[in-house]
Amino acid sequence: MKDFKKFEKIFDEYVDRFLNNDNIDEERKINFINKKLHSYRVRDNILQIAKEENLKLDMFIVEFIGLFHDIGRFYQYEKYETFNDAYSENHAKLSIKVLEDEGIIKLIDYEARPYIVDSILMHNMQDLPKIEDRKMYLYSALLRDADKLDGFKLIAESDSNNKKLAYYKNKSDEPIISDYVYNSIMNNKTVYKYDLKTILESQIVTLGYISCDINFDSTLKIIKENEYTKKMFEKMQDTPRAREIYDFVNNYINRRLEK
């Protein structure tokens, strides 16, 4: 069993470089700290889902991709002041660049590296591509579920009036869900998330991930136990479309867990 503490230290030291930058402003600080906390929660989530699914995988890889999947986010926000890839760079590619430039990937067994690199590169794709290699599929699917779980928590617990949070920055308060977003979700299709205009739309797209892009039943169980759909909906503007999507997602969870 490899000692993961060593990798936590590497992660923390890398992130501290951004946090200890003399020129840091309040907004960057909040978003750096949030990304650090997000990374640790995704690490916890991915370990939990992998255990509950009883998957025979290398738990070091599982833990590593959980903690390091967004390591490129710090450079991204420092440089561009956004987490929106469309207005900056693909942050998964940035994460791989950091792992290479910092010599972190070299600390990993050679055979494990493709699973780490590819699962991180696929974590922010709109849809997970068809993957023949069963293990590669599992690592990638786990990471996407673990990441999304923390997205649900974020919506459920954060204040949508806080414009310092990158998630809500530059988005309007209009209670609008476009036809494209509404139709995609109601047809269990993923949505291109980088040009959403309203806070409500962003929230509803995150809620809609549940019925189009959750891979494991264990993830759905965690969503249900934590009442994430209810808590997310409570943070949204109550419109007929939002309510319809909310019911649709709840029905989806119940149907899948009944099987």
| Cβ closest to Fe ion, residue 70 vs residue 201 | 70
Beta carbons within 8 Å of 24's beta carbon, 6+ residues apart: 18, 32
| Cβ closest to Fe ion, residue 91 vs residue 241 | 91
Q: Are 128 and 138 in contact (CB under 8 A)?
A: no
Q: Count the residues of the shown chain that bind Fe ion, applying the rule CB under 5 A.
A: 2
| Cβ closest to Fe ion, residue 124 vs residue 140 | 124
User: In the bound complex, what is the minimum distance in angstroms from residue 145's beta carbon to Fe ion?
Assistant: 13
User: In the bound complex, what is the minimum distance in angstroms from residue 28's beta carbon to Fe ion?
Assistant: 18
- The yes or no reply on residue 70 touching Fe ion (CB under 5 A) is yes
- Closest residue to Fe ion using C-beta atoms: 70
Adjacent-strand bridge partners of 27: none
Phi, psi of 172 (to 5 degrees): -85, 160
Q: Are 83 and 77 in contact (CB under 8 A)?
A: yes
User: In the bound complex, what is the minimum distance in angstroms from residue 124's beta carbon to Fe ion?
Assistant: 5
Mask for 92-111, x = binds Fe ion (CB under 5 A) = --------------------
Between CA 30 and CA 26 the distance in angstroms is 6
| Cβ closest to Fe ion, residue 202 vs residue 241 | 202
Tell which residue, 185, 191, 230, 229, has the closest CA to residue 208: 185
| Cβ closest to Fe ion, residue 68 vs residue 216 | 68
Give the footprint of Fe ion on residues 111-140 (CB under 5 A): 124
Tell which residue, 103, 104, 100, 144, has the closest CA to residue 120: 144
**Binding residues for Fe ion, per CB under 5 A?**
70, 124
